[in-house]
Amino acid sequence: MANTSLLSLEMNEKIAAAAERLQMSRREFLQFCAALATTLGLPQGADAAVAEAVAAKKRPSVIWLHFQECTGCTESMLRAEHPTLEKLILDVISLDYHETLFAAAGHQIEAAREAAMKANAGKYVLVIEGAIPTKDGGIYCKIGGKTAIELTKECAKDAAAVIAIGSCASWGGMPSTDPNPTGAVGANKIITDKPVVTIPGCPPNPYNFLSTVVHFLTFGTLPEIDALGRPKFAYSRLIHENCERRAHFDAGRFAMEFGDDGHRKGYCLYKLGCKGPETYANCPTVLFGDAGGGTWPVGCGHPCIGCTEQGVGFQKPIHLPAKLKNIEPPLQYPRIVEEKGTGATLGAAAVLAAVAGAAAGAGAMVARNLGLSHQAEEMEAAKKAGEKEQV
């Protein structure tokens, strides 16, 4: 198609067909593509390229592995609304292997995985959910007689792209917390010969995953990532920077305990242990569950626990104050409720008047004495001058 204007695609037949498959109007489909392009931080005109890719290109084959996890990442995907999961896996991607969502089981599902990998060698997207145990040769997680280590290496060999979804797959997550009895690690510790895009979160936002896949579908490459493998479009800003309670932080208004006056008024949760000032994620802007404003932990009144950040989530106690990044508060903040002074009583006013009167009287006496002293000095000087003249 090679269009640069999204509006020029509104009457395109392929766009109409794609919108019909996704059970959207053409306008809704184009708005969906524009939202994805905006989320990815793409330049003007890229939304048209996204629309063309979703409408015309072959759906990428996706192999989705499960290891040490709670399936929360998949549950998060199940609650996506734009598009819903069935539209995503039937019209945007081709989900060819997923243990939770497959109707088949046992040798049948393993045969489907091997067939999909063979048919799409060098083209499929590998998604890993869950940490990978490495202790004792990885015996603490086996699927179809193979360890998680073996499956990861086997599936990553011919993958065009590898995505680690959730904190467990990204850096070990909850299974890797001390004492880490299974030696759990993230996927990037096992796959070392190609880049691994990490999408941390417990669970991560499904639209961060969807946007990453659509970027690969549109441009044939994964989005730009930071030093930890996280897509910059989603993890380049601190939660604190876009938090709806940030103004209260700047003004020194904090909730001191759950249920207090400040907590009910929506004050900053920093002193309750909110890890937003040291956690990189787009939770305040993307939200969760498509249920409207405020649908994320801080918006619901609970401090951020830093689940996307290694060394913070599942490591630091929830009540421990965050280490501030990119911002330094004043040395002393005002209290939530400053005490106000009261008016002077009659007794206090009388005392003050007496003190002031005494001070004024003393001042007058000093001035009078100073004046008399000066007059006496002049008279003495005149007397001495007269005595000299007589001599």
Q: Is 70 annotated as a binding residue?
A: yes
Domain ranges of the chain: 58-234, 237-338
310: left (phi over 0), alpha (psi -120 to 50) or beta: beta
Q: What is the pTM of this model?
A: 0.74
Q: What is the DSSP letter of 197?
A: E
d(CA 354, CA 359): 8
Q: What angle do CA 175, 181, 182 make, to 5 degrees?
A: 70
What integer pLDDT is reported at residue 94 of this predicted model?
82
- The full length of the chain comes to 391
Q: Is 202 annotated as a binding residue?
A: yes
Q: How, if at all, do strands 161-165 and 125-129 pair?
A: parallel
Q: Are 136 and 180 in contact, with CB atoms under 8 Å apart?
A: no
d(CA 128, CA 196): 10
Alpha carbon 154 to chain centroid distance?
33
User: Predicted confidence band at 34 (pLDDT cuts at 50, 70, 90)?
Assistant: confident
pLDDT in tens, 7-17: 666 667 777 77
pLDDT in tens, 160-184: 999 999 999 999 999 999 999 999 9
Q: Is 155 annotated as a binding residue?
A: no
Q: Is 33 annotated as a binding residue?
A: no
d(CA 286, CA 87): 20
User: Predicted confidence band at 2 (pLDDT cuts at 50, 70, 90)?
Assistant: very low
Q: Is 268 annotated as a binding residue?
A: yes
User: Predicted confidence band at 272 (pLDDT cuts at 50, 70, 90)?
Assistant: very high
Q: Is 240 annotated as a binding residue?
A: yes
Average of per-residue pLDDT across 206-231: 88
Average of per-residue pLDDT across 321-339: 67
CB-based burial, 74-83: b 16+ in 10 Å, e otherwise: bebbeebebb
Q: Is 307 annotated as a binding residue?
A: yes
* Residue located via tokens 């206090």: 348
pLDDT of 103 > 60? The answer is yes
CATH number attached to the domain at 58-234? 3.40.50.700
Q: Which CATH superfamily does the domain covering 237-338 fall into?
A: Cytochrome-c3 hydrogenase, C-terminal domain (4.10.480.10)
User: Predicted confidence band at 335 (pLDDT cuts at 50, 70, 90)?
Assistant: low
Q: Is 141 annotated as a binding residue?
A: no
Identity of residue 87 = K
Q: Is 304 annotated as a binding residue?
A: yes
